[in-house]
A and B are shown apart, each in its own frame.
Chain A
Amino acid sequence: MSIIIDGLKYLAYILIFPGFLFCFLSGLLLCGIDRKLVARMQKRVGPPILQPFYDFFKLLGKETIVPVTANRTVFLIAPLVGLAAQVVLQLFIPVFSFNAFHGVADVIVILYLLLIPALSVILGAASSGSPYSGVGLSREMVTILAVELPLVLVLLSVAKVVGNAMGTGLCFSLTDIVNYQLTHGSLITKLSMIPAAAAMLLIIPGETGSHPFDAAEAETEICEGMLAEYSGKPLAVYKLSHAVKLLTMTTLFVALFLGGIGGGIERAMMTSAIGGAFCFLIEILILFLLCVCLVAVCISFVHAVTARLRIEQLFKYYWTVVTGLALISLVMAWYGL
């Protein structure tokens, strides 16, 4: 009996929260908010906030065209695998004290799981046989290379700081990292973690491929690069996984650097007589608001005020400025500051 209940519980985690439905709704909503914010910053009216939903459903109804040069199987399956991997990744990122699956993956694994959706886009693009996709995927790969190094350094410095504090030397478990923050306050309040947080803020637009780091999908030069040959439903799936990626990266930031906020909420809720479910809803709401703030800061604002970088400028920027910030953090963490 309990097995069935457990099974249903996990199925609910996978399909509803923090799984598929939650990712679908909040990802597309984040996308809509981002578009609206950018438009307002540029003194445009902008699309309605629900526009990504409309786009998504419209694309679902469109015809799917597979180019003659394409390998059909890979071309059609790649988007699905990418979306599935992206949503599964979301399951491993704790929402404050709530963590649906905590025994499956640690931070380093998450770093590599992040590659799978990107890789599926790359493979899908490669299989289409279009030269535009070819150029797009080469740029995407260089972007991944550029972002990977600072991201690794950020994760290593977080692991070191938490490990130091817990006396184990290093800590790779994301659950432990969040739990530590719940009792000791957010990591961003530590001096040594501020550069890492700044680096992470710069990594988010690179990972999600938004301005000015969108050389890979530059619409004006290479027709959205990797998505050039996609249409209809596969394109809708790609748009959705891109939206979920926004959510994943921002929740990852919250889990790594702002986890302490959850502790505050729980203490505040303890004093009043409101039930656990309500407290949980508040936590989700706060998480979403934090994600919106992060999107506003590091995606919309940056998008509104910058122009696209060339790919080699992008690479140089990440391997010097952002890596430098992350290195400062790592060195400070190493010497226990």
Chain B
Amino acid sequence: MSIQHFPICAIMAYFLGAFLIVIFGNNRALRNIIGFLATATPLCLLIGLVKPIMLGTDVIAYWMGNRVPAGGYAIGIALEVDAMGLFFGLLIATAVFVAMLYSFSYMSHDDNEPQYYTLFLMLCGGVMGFVLSGDLFNMFIMIEILTFAAVALTAFRNTANGALEAAFKYLVVGCIGSSCILAGTIMLYAQAHTLNFAQLAAFLPGKLNTATVVAYALLFIGFCTKAFIVPFHPLAADAHGAAPAPVSVLISGVLTKSGLYGIIRLTYILFRVMNLGTVQFWLVFLGSVSMFVCVTMALAQHDFKRLLAFHSISQIGYVLTAAGLATALGISSGLYHAMNHTLFKGLLFLCAGAVLHETGTTDLGKLGGLSRKMPHTTVLFLIGAFSISGVPPFNGFASKWMIYQATYQKAVESGNIGFLMATIVALVTSTLTLASFVKVTQSVFFGQLPKEYENVKEVSFGMRLAMGILALLCILTGLFPGFVTTYLTEPAARAVFGANQYINAMMGSGYAQGFGLADILPVSFEAAGIWSPISWLCLLMIMLLAVAIVAVSSKYDQVSALAKTAAAAEAAEAKAGPRYGSGALAEGKYELFFGGEESVYSQVGGDDLFWGFKHNWRHYFSFMHELHSGIVNDYALWAVIALALAMLYAMIIL
């Protein structure tokens, strides 16, 4: 099989798997085998494409039924895979594969398992088709498939509290987004008489009239709803809160990526408006707002999964900010962060799922002390938490650090102080993220173990394996940033700037030049900063060894004394009844400090880990609290307002 056929096979594998599970799904072993093959095959196929596309800068154009363009018009259905499409495809295939591995044991107690796997694979096929598609209308069809599969999966555990409500909200706002995409597609078709990406990309840059810029705004808002950019973020929180953990991985790691892919494709290749300062400002502004608003919303959450959902959008904000810079470093760092986001956020959602699976709750106020019962999950969670908070040497740091540089360089080069603000917001957001994850660590894995979780056990090996794969990838991509940029993100960034190559691969060479579109020279970048994680890690290891030798040589840990103390304490506890504070655990963890009064009457917010921060921002927080009413009408209204603003902005400025 020549590599030409790899993309279509990757998409078909998912859909085929979905249909086969409908037929044979009642047998568990058969179902699992089909699920495994259906997700492993696309991953292998796409890895096979890395060499020609990432290293050889090929672009694969595939015409269904060999209906190649005639007379400069593309009529047939096409798939087109350039380095950027492949990059997102690889992310998706990896996340999907891991989520499938996890599902085998995680979903084994649910009813209707065959339906779950069918919807799961439909969603995957939709997203894969979306990023590999070569024309706008197929993109819309895939969006419909993936949106409805995602809505159904959100409400899959429909007996759970809030699942149907979350699905309904998602449905309403998701449909507004899909309608926007359809409307934008129609307007472009009316203008250009084609839906093929390559042909549109050749036609549109010279034809920025009112109709096409409004189409741009419509498509942009449509893709924003898929990526849950502010103001569409409340949907994500509800959806993640209700969906099973592997589905959360798909929604945050895969669905939001498809939205980002759409935005980048639209802005850089279809319209080539990346050189317009107004568009850059728009993207960077939206990205920074998403970053900050969502991280502060996350600080106010009391539910593990909702908290992760807000962080997810906050990280998407980083990607959007970086993507809006229109520099090679910016795009490269943005894509790097998109990849890291898929890895660490997937890992974190799976950890949340593990906690839910064992304890039956994700309420931060009820959990505690799980590290002694679930040591592996704790370590994996910490890796994910360090990665997302940008602690060196994990992967989140490598990409965030590139984003800081990219925004600051852009600010210095353009002299625009707005980009400087983006740098500062990004740096502060990173610390806020860390704060938020300290809270989760303290509330879920450390602290005191409530009585009802005394019998909690570690999750099964299959689930730990899935989490382990993601954790390993988090560490590796953090330790070898040079490898990732050279082989993955730089080719993708080149593809983002290489619209002409994209057009010519599909429509025949010289087609783009026929429209008077100048070639964009190969892009390269130089980072201003220095960071070599391997050297740092070596130094740390040597130092740790030295410190440990000194400590151990003087009997660092006196086990016998310890065992005695622990045994004595336990005996004393058994005699004296509940240990300090545990009586108050049911009400709230830090009630101990109120001397018995209700926390609302207390002057010091002892039950709130970030009281010192929130007290100073109380007006902001109460404003946000009022804004996020949880009523779907409000969110739909926000969507309409955002659309109106985007259209106005596009018409006035572009």
Contacts and interface: CB of A to CB of B under 8 A. Distances in A.
A49 interface: no
B556 A76 contact: yes
Interface of B is mostly: helix
A296 interface: no
B612 A113 contact: no
Contacts of B442: 126, 134, 137-138
Contacts of A68: 566, 569-570, 573
A8 interface: no
A314 B427 contact: no
B613 A315 contact: yes
Nearest to B548: A80
Contacts of B310: none
B557 interface: yes
A142 B547 CA distance: 29
B590 A131 contact: yes
A68 B391 CA distance: 29
Contacts of B590: 131, 134-135
Nearest to B605: A312
Interface in A63-91: 63-69, 71-74, 76, 80-81, 83-85, 87-88, 91
Interface in B418-453: 420, 423-424, 427-428, 431-432, 434-435, 438-439, 441-442, 445-449
Interface stretch (A164-172, A247-255, A268-276): A164-172
A105 B529 CA distance: 8
Interface stretch (B12-20, B111-119, B251-259, B406-414): B406-414
Contact of A71 (B390, B446, B558, B589): B446
Interface in A89-126: 91, 101-109, 111-113, 115-116, 119, 122-123, 126
B532 interface: yes
Interface string A155-170: 0100110010000111
Contacts of B544: 80-81, 84
Contacts of A83: 547
B531 A126 contact: no
Of B372, B417, B535, most buried by chain A (CB within 10 Å of CB) is B372
B536 A104 contact: yes
A3 B326 CA distance: 44
A337 interface: no
B292 interface: no
Given A83-B547, A170-B408, A74 B371 contact: yes
A315 B558 CA distance: 40
Interface stretch (B215-223, B397-405, B487-495, B635-643): B397-405
Contact of B530 (A69, A109, A169): A109
A148 interface: yes
Contact of A131 (B535, B542, B593): B593
A74 B447 CA distance: 12
A84 B543 contact: yes
Interface stretch (A13-21, A33-41, A258-266): A13-21
B26 interface: no
B427 A103 contact: no
Contacts of A298: none
Of A101, A102, A172, A316, most buried by chain B (CB within 10 Å of CB) is A172
A328 interface: no
Nearest to A168: B528
A149 interface: yes
A316 B448 CA distance: 31
Contacts of B439: 138, 141
Contacts of A134: 442, 447, 589-590, 609
A299 B590 CA distance: 32
B543 A144 contact: no
Contact of B611 (A60, A122, A172, A311): A311
Interface in B564-579: 565-566, 569-570, 573, 579
B625 interface: no
**Interface bin, chain B:** 35 or more
A88 B435 contact: no
B610 interface: yes
B556 A170 contact: no
Contact of B432 (A69, A109, A145, A152): A145
B539 A91 contact: yes
Nearest to A66: B562
A172 B402 CA distance: 12
A104 B530 contact: yes
A156 B432 contact: no
A129 interface: yes
B447 A312 contact: no
B23 interface: no
Given A80-B544, A129-B446, A106 B531 contact: yes
A203 to B, nearest CB: 14
B29 interface: no
A250 B531 CA distance: 23
Contacts of A91: 539
B592 interface: yes
B651 to A, nearest CB: 33
Contact of B536 (A76, A105, A129): A105
Of A68, A123, A314, most buried by chain B (CB within 10 Å of CB) is A68
B556 A312 contact: no
**Interface bin, chain A:** 35 or more
Nearest to A11: B542
Contact of A129 (B420, B448, B540): B448
Contact of A172 (B397, B528, B536, B615): B528
B616 A315 contact: yes
B66 interface: no
A149 B426 CA distance: 11
Of B435, B446, B561, B593, most buried by chain A (CB within 10 Å of CB) is B446
A106 B529 contact: yes
A301 interface: no
Contacts of B592: 131
A328 to B, nearest CB: 14
Contacts of A311: 611-612
B539 A71 contact: no
Nearest to A13: B539
A169 B551 contact: no
A104 B539 contact: yes
A40 B221 CA distance: 66
Nearest to A107: B529
Interface in A272-311: 310-311
A163 B412 contact: yes
B70 interface: no
Given A19-B543, A91-B539, A312 B371 contact: no
A71 B590 CA distance: 20
A264 to B, nearest CB: 27
A262 to B, nearest CB: 21
A149 B616 CA distance: 15
B529 A172 contact: yes
B539 A148 contact: no
B386 to A, nearest CB: 8
B630 interface: no
A242 to B, nearest CB: 15
A111 B609 CA distance: 23
Contacts of A87: 543, 547
A208 interface: no
A241 B371 CA distance: 26
5 contacts: A108-B401, A119-B438, A141-B439, A148-B428, A315-B613
Given A64-B561, A71-B375, 12 more contacts: A71-B372, A85-B540, A104-B530, A106-B531, A109-B392, A138-B609, A141-B435, A141-B438, A145-B613, A148-B428, A148-B431, A315-B613
Interface of B: 369, 371-372, 375, 378, 382, 390-392, 397, 401, 404-405, 408-409, 412-413, 417, 420, 423-424, 427-428, 431-432, 434-435, 438-439, 441-442, 445-449, 528-532, 535-536, 539-540, 542-544, 546-548, 551, 554, 556-558, 561-562, 565-566, 569-570, 573, 579-581, 589-590, 592-593, 606, 609-613, 615-616
4 closest pairs, A vs B, by CB?
A: A311-B612, A126-B446, A142-B612, A138-B609
